[in-house]
Every structure is written in C-alpha cells, then in structure tokens.
Amino acid sequence: MARGKLYFKHEDCKGCALCVEFCPQKILALDKENINPKGYNLIKVLEPERCIACAFCAIMCPDSVITVERVPA
Amino acid sequence: MKTIVYQKSKGLTDAQLSYCPGCTHGIVHKLVSEALVELDVLDKAVGIASVGCSVLSYNFFNCDMVQAAHGRACAVATGIKRARPEAIVFSYQGDGDLASIGIAETIHAANRGENLTVIFINNAIYGMTGGQMAPTTLLGQKTTTSPLGRDSKLHGLPIRIAEIFSEIPRAVFVERVSVHNPRAVRNAKKAILKAFRNQIEARGFSLVEVLSTCPVNWGMTPVEALRWVEQEMMAYYPVKTFRDGDADEKA
C-alpha cells in the first residue's frame, strides 16, 4: 500500500485544525509548543509512517498549506 | 516513484488569504481556481470580486479580476462578457452582496440569460462588517443585529437563493453545494466545473450556491462551524441540483 508524505507551508497556516479533524488516520495534531510568525500553532505529524496519502487534510485546508506526495511502500 | 497527490492550485497567487482561520472561503477559492486550471481557461478568465470578506479576492485568484460596487458584480460581469465574449467571466459573491443589495442585478442577469458563472457563498451572516443579520440568517440564529435570534415576524424568513433562481427560465444550471467534509468538497468541485463548462459551451447563466462557514461571527470553532452547517444549515438549505438543462424559451 502506498504511503504519503506531507509538506507544510507553515507560514501560511492559521491553525484552524480542519486537517486534524478530517485525517482518517488521526495522525495530525496541533503543535502547542511551536508557532509560526503570525502566532498560530503549527501542525505536526504524529506518526508519518501511517499516512495513506488520501489528501483529506489538504482538501479541507482553506489556506492551501499542505502538499501531499505519494511514495511507494 | 513519487507523485504529487495534492498541491496548491496554480490558479491562486502566492498571497496569503486574508480570511479568518477555518473560513471556508479558502476552500471555495481553491475549487474555483482548480476548475479554471482544469478547463484550461485561466488565461482568459475574468473574475468579479464583490464587496464583503471576498472583496480582496482579486489578490488571490491568478487571473484578471475586477472589483465591483456593492451588489453590482453581475452587472459588471454582463458588460465584460458582452464586450469580450471570448473571456470566461465569473462573479464571486457573498450573501450580503448577492442576496441582499445585489439581488436585482443577479436576478436580471439570470433572466436575460447572460452567459456567466456565479459563485454564491452563503454563510448566513455579514462577515466583514462584524456579524450582522443577513437575508440568509437562519431563524433563531443570534447575530449582532438580532441578539435574541432571528424572528420571522420581525425579520421575515431566510431567503433560499438557489430555489428562487431555479424558477428563472434562462438560468440553465442552479445547484446548492456544501464544503463541510471532503466528500462534499468533491461534489462542490463537480458543480463548479459544470458551471464553468456551461459558460464555455455558451449555454447560459449558471449559479452555484455554496454553504459556507463564518466561525468567528458564529462564535464557534472551525470544526463546530462545519458541524453547524451540516446539522442546521443543510436542514433549511437542501443540498441538491435544482436545475440542469437548457434554457426554457417558452413565453
């Protein structure tokens, strides 16, 4: 099964966490310890190896922060 | 081999969106720009920005943009389309703009059967000016100008724009969509693609109403706002295709 790799353009993120909500694998979370220049919490990938490249996070991101890449398993 | 599954649309500029966190304007911007790129019309697209939160959308769409006076987007779009029939002209309007001050311009553009694409964002509130009651505000919904909730005796009933336009013979495509989950976003994209394809094929006036959120003025988190769309808004504003066919020219 193919896996996914996520790239975040953190400076555009507003920490709305819609990606966290809609990730079916529940591997995204708000990073409470790091903020971007706007002062919003960053998004972190808790278990990158479980990403399935479904791109639900990127589809729901209003600010086009996320790029999703599919890599062969 | 690595393949990119999803990346920022080339139909959007590098500018950061000015919308609040979690506002679904951003999702609809992505869908419109992706549709223009997929149909290969980005270089001849002309967008009309409305007044409201989306007033700055001329900074975000990577095509020619005009900013119209409040509510007049469809009148401006008519002029551009008639002067430059080869251009793909769309207006991007909120409910304060289209459903309130601009309802006359929009209805008459549809009645004339102008070959336009109208993207209508219904978030049941005036966002930019600070959360006042809009024509689309739901009954009982609290806003800064209806602090006890919208009362039908005092304020009338919420206006169902898609239903109104579906009765206009020359509105060839009228659909209401939502963007409250990934599946709904995919369906919304299909509707927006269809609305632009209609214009490319010179079929006539297409309107897509998108149920959207305003987390800040609704006083909710972005996730709560999407649930509110699903539970409250979709109960009053059914998501479906109201009209899809040819213009009805019978007198």
Q: What is the mean pLDDT of residues B17-31?
A: 96
* Residue B180 belongs to some domain of the structure: yes
In the predicted model, is pLDDT for residue B51 greater than 90? yes
Across the interface, whether the CB atoms of A64 and B12 are under 8 A apart is answered: yes
Per-residue pLDDT of A23-33, as tens digits, reads 999 999 999 99
Across the interface, whether the CB atoms of A64 and B21 are under 8 A apart is answered: no
* Residue B135 belongs to some domain of the structure: yes
Which structural domain range is residue B53 located in?
A: 25-244
The C-alpha of A8 sits at a distance from chain B's nearest C-alpha, in angstroms, of: 10
| Out of A16, A60, A64, closest to residue B185 by CB | A60
* Residue B68 belongs to some domain of the structure: yes
DSSP string, B128-146: TTTSB--TTPPBT--BTTB
Q: Give the pLDDT score at B251.
A: 58
pLDDT band at residue B209 using 50, 70 and 90 as cut-offs = very high
pLDDT band at residue B249 using 50, 70 and 90 as cut-offs = confident
In this prediction the pTM is 0.95
How far apart (Å, rounded) are the C-alpha atoms in residues B3 and B154?
56
Q: Are B115 and B247 in contact (CB under 8 A)?
A: no
Which H, E and C letters describe A14-60, residue by residue? Answer: CCCCHHHHHCCCCCEEEEEEEECCCCCEEEEECCHHHCCCCCHHHHH
Q: Give the pLDDT score at B246.
A: 79
* Residue B19 belongs to some domain of the structure: no
Q: Give the pLDDT score at B245.
A: 84
Which one of B5, B53, B216 makes the best mutation probe of the A interface by having the most chain A beta carbons within 10 Å? Answer: B5
In the predicted model, is pLDDT for residue B247 greater than 80? no
Q: Give the pLDDT score at B1.
A: 77
Chain A residues with CB-CB distance to B under 8 A? 4-5, 9, 11-12, 14-18, 21-22, 40, 53, 55-56, 58-64, 66-72
CATH number for B184: 3.40.50.970
Give ipTM to 2 decimals: 0.95
Per-residue pLDDT of B156-165, as tens digits, reads 999 999 999 9
Domains of chain A (ranges, CATH numbers)? 3-71 (3.30.70.20)
* Residue B121 belongs to some domain of the structure: yes
* Residue B17 belongs to some domain of the structure: no
Number of domains chain B contains = 1
Phi, psi of B120 (to 5 degrees): -115, 120
Per-residue pLDDT of B215-243, as tens digits, reads 999 999 999 999 999 999 999 999 999 99
- DSSP annotation of B157 reads P
Q: pLDDT tens for chain A, 73 residues: list them.
A: 679 999 999 999 999 999 999 999 999 999 999 999 999 999 999 999 999 999 999 999 999 999 999 998 7
